[in-house]
Amino acid sequence: EIYTWISNVLVIANPFRWLQIYDSKHINMYKGSNTKDLPPHIFAVAETAFRQMLLEEEKQCIIISGESGAGKTEAAKQIMTYIAAISGSGGNDKAVTKVKDIILDSNPALEAFGNAMTVRNNNSSRFGKYFEIKFS
């Protein structure tokens, strides 16, 4: 278990290996669900923010914080993947997928200029990223 809740804050322990918990099965498990009834997961954070945006018609903000090597970049990628999968036309909206792909595909270029090897991480981001996604 790499996820746990502390109040409404999701705490993640980076396993430093790929886990099979980010597939369409897991996306469908969290999509439209009461996330409190499911195990802690980064998809629960994305689902809660997305649903609150739709229900309350209020802006949402997800802050990802942690030390070098904590997995912040990967967490952001998983949130983007989840939002793209559940928004639009049942996840088949080409415009939504295109925007997600542009953002995710920008990572290698940003990493080429802004990443460095550190003691804890061979590919550590040395800069902050701010994404703003608008829905209409």
Consult the annotation and say whether 66 binds a ligand. Answer: yes
CA 27, 131, 123, 5 torsion-angle sign: negative
CB hemisphere CA count around 16 (13 angstroms):
8
* CB of 107 closer than 8 Å to CB of 114: no
91 is in an annotated binding site: no
Please check if 71 is assigned to a binding site: yes
Backbone φ and ψ for 4, nearest 5 degrees, come out as -155, 155
Of 111, 9, 23, nearest to 64 by C-alpha is 9
Taking a C-beta distance cutoff of 8 angstroms, is the pair 125, 72 a contact? yes
**Residue 67, annotated as binding a ligand:** yes
User: Would you say 65 is a known binding-site residue?
Assistant: no
DSSP 9: E
Q: Are strands 9-12 and 3-6 parallel, antiparallel or unpaired?
A: antiparallel
72 in a labelled binding site:
yes
Q: Which residues define the annotated binding site?
A: 66-73
Mark the binding-site residues for ATP, compressed into ranges: 66-73
